[in-house]
Structure 1
Amino acid sequence: MTALAYLVLLATAVRAGLGLVAGPGPDDRRRVPVATVTALVVVGVPTLLQLTVVPALLGQLGRDRAAIGDGQVWRLVTSLVVQDGGVAGSVFNLAALAVVGVVAERVWGARRWAVVALASGVLAQLWGLVVQPVGAGNSVAVFGLAASVAAVALRSGDRVSRLFGAASLLVGVALLVAGDIHGGAAVVGAAVAAALLALDRRSRR
């Protein structure tokens, strides 16, 4: 059931985002999604090493409440580049990063994409210390990006995009209430999106 909620949140966010970026011009089609490609490399290389020749990386870099409490705060960041879901979970996380990442980068641009992804990824780890003290994976950054796109669609998309955006955000809230780390990531992503949109409104005044 949780896996289905994950798929619904991501799929509805992507659909909402596609409604926002429909009808790209020639320049948009040729533009390389730099932030997404960079993230895939930064996450993919350590993940591949962890799954093949250096399995100890998960224990050394993953989220661990006891280790973080002992001062290894860097795990709040490094836990994003290793995976706790084995081969299947790693493939899903990287595929989701590619699909959601490209759509989110079309919506936000590379710099704001990085802000949303890092804020969601790192702050969700704090929620994870409460609900899932040990773990790892880039999925929290993906869920934050997805929710940020849904938040933009809810504010400025067409009717269909708003419906999909609302559905995505409702699933995120449900996951948060259920004590799922991905719900925390989604809420952070939506909050960062709201802050960025507010900054845009102020700058236009």
Structure 2
Amino acid sequence: MPIITAAAAVIAVAAAIAQYAIPAVVPALERSRTGVVAGEWWRLVTPLLVQTLGWYQVVLNLVTLALVGVVVERAVGHGRWVVLFAAGALGGQFAAYATREPGGGDSIAICGLAGGMIVWLLASRPADRWAAWIVVGYVAALAGWGFGGVRAAAVASLVAMVALVVVPDKRFTLAVTAVCAIAMASAYDLHGVSLVSGMIAGILIAPWRQRGAQAIPVTGLSTPDTIAPQLVDAPAANDPL
């Protein structure tokens, strides 16, 4: 059960209710470089709790947290989920403060989950098809949004979905998605930086070794002392993404 995702969603809902019930919450918790310099250290973390672009940011981030969060937690487990979430948040917050980007929102942390999942899907076999659809669509929408706005986001998502259907090897589409994330980061897009941060963390936790080793005694030897283990590769799952 994706309990970490559920907990994060509950916190996000509670924070959204608080920011609309108490208008002073947003200016008290959003990013402020001046505030951090003045000793308001909580602003290094609390911008994740407030959605400064309005109700549509609340809805979009809550939906994407649920979708991306669930598939990531089911694939990598609770602990790795936290690692990827933190990686995206740290990378995004660092970039935001470095470029004096105001505001807030938890999309940078969600990007950490998505970036890590890209690497996980590229490394694992068999991989989760639904996870690929969700993550590729999400990153495509972010890339479109970052480079061209709402219409570009819709077009990019559509193109990504078509690519997942048409291209036989889904890992090619995932690789292109990773390149898009790097391009966004190169353009100083906060989402791109967070995606790359998640990808870096994903490299450290991804299941690169898919083949196990088992010990098989060498037959034809007369005594137990001369039985030697021999490592052989176990067959890999033959299920391309």
Q: Could you say which TM-score interval applies, normalised by the shorter chain?
A: 0.7 to 0.9
**Normalised TM-score (structure 1):** 0.76
Matched, 1:86 2:54: yes
Partner of 1:111: 79
Post-superposition Cα deviations, 1:57-85, rounded to whole Å, max 9, x if no partner, equal 11111111111222222212111111112
- Supply the distance in 2 between the matched residues of 1:36 and 1:116 (Cα, whole angstroms): 12
Per mean C-alpha deviation after superposition, the further-off stretch among 163-172 and 179-188 is: 163-172
Per mean C-alpha deviation after superposition, the further-off stretch among 113-122 and 184-193 is: 113-122
Matching of residues 185-196 of structure 1 within 5 Å: 185-196=194-205
Partner of 2:35: 67
User: 1:168 and 1:48, CA in 2 relative to 1: closer, same or farther beyond 3 A?
Assistant: farther
Give the % identical residues: 33
- Supply the distance in 2 between the matched residues of 1:162 and 1:76 (Cα, whole angstroms): 36
Matched, 1:97 2:58: no
User: 1:73 and 1:160, CA in 2 relative to 1: closer, same or farther beyond 3 A?
Assistant: farther
Give the SS at the match of 1:71: coil
**Normalised TM-score (structure 2):** 0.65
Cα deviation, residue 156, structure 1: 2.6
8 A contact 1:83–1:89 mirrored in 2: yes
Cα deviation, residue 195, structure 1: 1.5
- Supply the distance in 2 between the matched residues of 1:150 and 1:191 (Cα, whole angstroms): 11
User: 1:78 and 1:156, CA in 2 relative to 1: closer, same or farther beyond 3 A?
Assistant: same
Larger RCO, structures 1/2 (Cα 8 Å, 6+ apart): 1
Cα deviation, residue 147, structure 1: 0.8
8 A contact 1:131–1:181 mirrored in 2: no
Per mean C-alpha deviation after superposition, the further-off stretch among 143-152 and 120-129 is: 120-129
Q: How many equivalent residue pairs?
A: 170
- Supply the distance in 2 between the matched residues of 1:133 and 1:171 (Cα, whole angstroms): 22
Matching of residues 127-146 of structure 1 within 5 Å: 127-146=95-114
Aligned amino acid, residue 146 of structure 1: A
List gaps (5 residues or longer) in structure 1. 1-31
Give the SS at the match of 2:169: helix
Per mean C-alpha deviation after superposition, the further-off stretch among 36-45 and 72-81 is: 72-81
Give the SS at the match of 1:123: helix
Aligned amino acid, residue 34 of structure 1: I
Aligned amino acid, residue 110 of structure 1: H
Post-superposition Cα deviations, 1:132-167, rounded to whole Å, max 9, x if no partner, equal 521100100111101110011122356734223212
Partner of 1:156: 124
Q: Which structure's CA Rg is the greater one? A: 2
Aligned partner of 2:3 among 31, 34, 40 = 34
List gaps (5 residues or longer) in structure 2. 127-167, 214-241
- Structure showing the higher helix proportion among its residues: 1
Give the SS at the match of 2:21: coil
- Give RMSD over aligned pairs: 2.0
